[in-house]
Structure 1
Amino acid sequence: MNDVKVQVIVKSPPSEIWKIWSNFSEAPLWDTDVSHCELNGPFQPGAQGKCILKNGLNMPLKLEEVKMHESYRNTARLLWIDLEFDHQMRRLSPNETHVIHTARIAGPLSFLYRGLLRKMLTAAMTTALDNLCTLAEQRANAISPPRLEKPGTHLHRV
C-alpha cells in the first residue's frame, strides 16, 4: 500500500524526465527539500548515495530497482523511519508523459509518525513533481519549438 501518491502529466518526452531523474546531483533543481544529493556509482540497482535535506538531516539511500527509461525505486532511512520511493513514467505521446511518484512509510516506529509524515511527504512530493514538470518542459522546449496547445493544469494526488 502506498502512503502517498502524486502524479502529473508532463509535456515532455520520457527521455527528458529520465535525464533529470538519473542525475542525482541536479535533484535540488526540482526537489526543493533537498540541498545536496549524490549517488556513489552508476545509476543502477545496488548503488548507494545520500541526500542532505534543507533542514540538515542526512538521508542515506539505495537504488533498489532501475528499469531504464521507465522507472526506478529507492529506499531511504530518515531517523528511525524506512522510506521507499517509487518513480514511474508512461509515455502518452511523443511529447507527453504521465509521471507518478509514490512513497511508502515503514519501520518499527513508523506508526508514531505516519500521519505527520504522510502530510509532509504529500506536500513535498507535490512541489517536487511540479518543479520536475516545469524543468522537463523547459528543457524539452529548448530542444524543439513549443507546440500551440490549450493551457492545462498539472494532475496530482490520487
Structure 2
Amino acid sequence: MIWSTVATARTKARPEDVWRLWTDVAGWRHGDDGVASSDLDGAFVEGARGWLKPTAGPATRFVLTQVEPHVAFTNRSRLPLATIDFIHTVQRDGHDTVIVHRVEMAGPLTFLFRRLIGASIARGLPAVVDRLARVAEGMAA
C-alpha cells in the first residue's frame, strides 16, 4: 500500500535560494513549525544520515536517498513495517520558481501510519511550502 500527499508553491526566489534553505538541516525548524530540531551527520550528499525531532512525537532518524543539487532531494525515515519519504523538488517555470514537497508512505502498516500521522502531514504541508517560498524570497531580495 502507498499513501501520498503533495503541496506546491510558486515564488520569485531562485532555486539556489530554496536549495540553501533545504541544505541547512539544522535550520529546518525555522521554516516548519512541525520540526523542533534536526541535524545531519556530515555533508548534504546521498547516503548521509540525520535525525529530526518533530514538535509532537519521537525523534526519528533519516537518510538522504536522493540528492540532485539545486533540483531535488529525498529523505527517508523508517517506521515499523513502513517507510516515509519526503521528496523535495524545485525548478524554474518562466519567471517563477516552483517548489514541490511530496510525502509518500509505503509498506504493510501504511494504513495505520496514514491514520496516525498522514492527516497531520497533509494538513501542514501547504503551510510549510508556502513559508519556504516566502523565506527564500526574503533571501533573494
| TM-score of the two chains, using structure 2 as the length reference | 0.90
Gaps of 5+ in 1: 142-158
3-state DSSP of counterpart to 2:108: coil
Once the two structures are TM-superposed, the CA of residue 108 in structure 1 deviates from its matched residue by 2.5
Q: For 2:133 and 2:93, how far apart are their aligned partners in 1?
A: 15
C-alpha deviations, 1:12-66, integer Å up to 9, x for none?
0111000001110110010110011100010000000000111241011000010
CA distance in 2, matches of 1:48, 1:7: 26
1:56–1:104: structure 2 CA closer, same or farther, 3 Å change rule?
A: closer
Question: 2:116 & 2:63 partners in 1: Cα distance?
Answer: 24
Moved more, 112-121 or 39-48: 112-121
Matched, 1:43 2:60: no
Cα distance in 1 for residues equivalent to 2:103 and 2:92: 21
- Give the match for residue 148 of structure 1: none
Q: Is the 8 A contact 2:80 2:109 kept in 1?
A: no
The 8 Å contact of residues 5 and 102 in structure 1, kept in 2 or not, is answered as: yes
Matches for 1:78-157 after TM superposition, within 5 Å: 78=79, 81-93=82-94, 96-141=96-141
Counterpart-to-counterpart distance in 1, 2:78 and 2:109: 12
**Cα RMSD between the aligned structures?**
1.7
Q: Which residue of 2 aligns with 1:26?
A: 27
Task: Give the whole-Å Cα distance in 2 for the aligned partners of 1:5 and 1:24.
Answer: 21
Helix, strand or coil at the partner of 1:57: coil
Identity %: 26
The AA in structure 2 aligned to 1:59 is T
- Which residue of 2 is the match for residue 66 of structure 1? 67
Long gaps (5+) in structure 2: none
Which one has a larger percent strand, Structure 1 or Structure 2? 2
- Which letter does structure 1 place at the counterpart of 2:51? K
The one-letter code matched in structure 2 to 1:132 is L
Larger Rg belongs to = 1
The equivalent residue for 1:147 is: none
Aligned to 1:75: 76
Q: How many residues align?
A: 140
2:92 aligns to what SS in structure 1? Answer: strand
For 1:71, the aligned partner's letter is A
Which whole-Å CA distance do the structure 1 matches of 2:130 and 2:30 have between them? 11
Q: Which amino acid aligns with 1:62?
A: V
